[in-house]
Amino acid sequence: MTVPVSLGERSYSIAIEAGALQTLAGLPDAAFPGEVALISNATLGPIITNALVRRLEERGQRVVRFDMGDGEKFKTLETASLAFDALAEAGFSRKGAVWAVGGGVTGDLAGFVAATWMRGVSFVQVPTTLLAMVDSSVGGKTGVNHPRAKNLLGAFWQPVGVLIDPACLGSLSRRELGAGLAEVIKYGVIADAEFFVWLEDNLDAILAGDGEATAYAIRRSCEIKAEVVGEDERESDAVGRRATLNYGHTFGHSLEALKTGDERGSFLHGEAIAVGMTVEARLGVELGTIGRVEGEDLLKRQTKLFGRAGLPTHTPNLDFGAAWRAMTLDKKNRGAGVNFIVPKTLGEVVRVQASAETVRVAMSTL
């Protein structure tokens, strides 16, 4: 199946098919220009990347390979510089294509490399985690982190194609799968109440590895994101639809910046977003953007889904002052306040500004 992303001359398709990594079907000719820079991480090398290199070489591609470290701490300018060194040493031209193979960290960094190498080369996303499949691989956001905040440095650079093979999910841990489900659940809250209800009925099947249920969850998530991105590619309108994708992210990104976590260690991205969605749902109730009865029901149902997915909904011993300072640096802010996306009803959200004290109160009532 394919999901189109309609962006005029930058339009592309998301190909979703079990076994797609074997055939590479669904990608356009621009994905195979004769030389490919394959950026992945060391963890995936023996599992996926080695075989993918062979398939690309069988198609006549010269492959330049760069394996980066696995994890958010490697999404830095230093890692990007090492990738540039590898491309320069290999004589990689501006006619080549950069392929990102891995999770969201790999995709963001590889996209940043593609956007800046010789002022931009073709880019292909091959996400291998649920989180990357339904979120970061679609929409063209690329970037690296800065010590002050997440994703401060980056560019919008659309891929020429996205290749999703749900079979890759079999290698994920239950925790990693749950982290991806946070973003899937988000789509139901922000855009599709019926999808949220479907998730309530089918979450256990996804967790059990049911191929049909998993493929539908990926497809519907990609459809929603593609529609939103098609309306507002660069998030130019602070109150437009693309801003709605940030539900849970203002608070969640502050947790990631502070390396906040629980007994398992620092939160994964999806775990931080689940906590952020919980706080921002409560914020919507406190601000009256959603009726208290409906808001309490939404919060209860969302929290129950998170629990079934093994996701956290609070964080112990948070330094709120430090978290608030991180939120004030969020690049999505406009004007003097801090912006949050909060529910208006199940399937619809709205942007608001809130003070530190209001957010603190919202947290205290969870």
Question: CB–CB of 314/261 below 8 Å?
Answer: no
Q: Which of 186, 220, 249, 351 does the annotation list as catalytic?
A: 249
The two tokens of residue 220 are: 């519907």
Residue count (the chain): 366
Q: Which of 9, 119, 263, 357 does the annotation list as catalytic?
A: 119
The two tokens of residue 284 are: 């919507």
**Which residues, at least 6 apart from 154, have a Cβ–Cβ distance to it below 8 Å?**
108, 112, 141, 142, 143, 144
d(CA 253, CA 153): 15
Helix 77-90 to helix 104-116 angle (10° resolution) is 60
Q: Which of 17, 183, 256, 286 does the annotation list as catalytic?
A: 183
Q: Is 35 a catalytic residue?
A: no
Q: Is 314 a catalytic residue?
A: no
Q: Which of 242, 282, 301, 332 does the annotation list as catalytic?
A: 242
Q: Is 95 a catalytic residue?
A: no
Q: Which of 75, 141, 219, 351 does the annotation list as catalytic?
A: 141
Q: Which of 225, 301, 332, 351 does the annotation list as catalytic?
A: 225
Q: Give Cα separations from 296 to 90, 195, 292, 354 (angstroms).
A: 57, 19, 6, 19
Q: Is 183 a catalytic residue?
A: yes
d(CA 210, CA 204): 9
Q: Which of 220, 269, 282, 351 does the annotation list as catalytic?
A: 269
Q: Is 212 a catalytic residue?
A: no
Would you give the DSSP letter of residue 263? T
Q: Which of 150, 186, 219, 253 does the annotation list as catalytic?
A: 253
Q: Which of 235, 256, 271, 286 does the annotation list as catalytic?
A: 235
Q: Is 241 a catalytic residue?
A: no
Q: Is 269 a catalytic residue?
A: yes
Query: What 3-state DSSP class applies to 281?
Result: helix
Helix 193-207 to helix 292-308 angle (10° resolution) is 20
Active site residues: 119, 141, 183, 225, 235, 242, 246, 249, 253, 269
